[in-house]
Amino acid sequence: VRSTGPINQQTRQPLKGRKIGGGIRFGEMERDSILAHGASYLLHDRLHTCSDYHIADVCSLCGSLLTASIVQQQKITEKPLAELSPAISYSKKAFCQACKSSKGMETVAMPFVFRYLAAELAAMNIKVSLHLREQ
């Protein structure tokens, strides 16, 4: 439940144990007591935002999380005559490999452990499909 300190490279969550500078154990009873006191924002901040916050692209057409890749589109802009070489700037656009389309790509905030779980399930030939809705 700390925002700084060492993290596990595989799950991107804080290491456990005070001796090594990791996070403090935070169980279900502690979570329930914070919810009972009405501090849900604190709970979201400590367990999601400061822990393993991750932004992922999700295809809203097929619900795929793992097949989104970023295609860089090259744009050439002109500089003044003093500089002879043209400047190249890149804009990133998400592309779904399953749908073969870039339509319907949404950016979603989620814990990184969920993405890790989806990758583990994909290794066992189980597809995780996300159904997005408007808020």
Indicate if 32 and 82 belong to the same structural domain.
no
Indicate if 124 and 97 belong to the same structural domain.
yes
Indicate if 106 and 77 belong to the same structural domain.
yes
Q: How many domains does the chain have?
A: 2
DSSP structure string for 67-109: TEEEEEEEEEE---TTS-SPEEEEEEEEEETTTTB-TTEEEEE
Listed range (38-52, 55-69, 72-86) with the worst mean pLDDT: 72-86
Boundaries of domain holding 6: 1-51
Indicate if 93 and 112 belong to the same structural domain.
yes
d(CA 121, CA 135): 28
- pLDDT tens digits, one per residue of 70-110: 666 655 555 555 555 555 555 567 888 888 888 888 888 99
Indicate if 43 and 73 belong to the same structural domain.
no
How confident is residue 37, by pLDDT bands cut at 50, 70 and 90?
Answer: very high
CATH code, 132:
3.90.1800.10
Indicate if 64 and 118 belong to the same structural domain.
yes
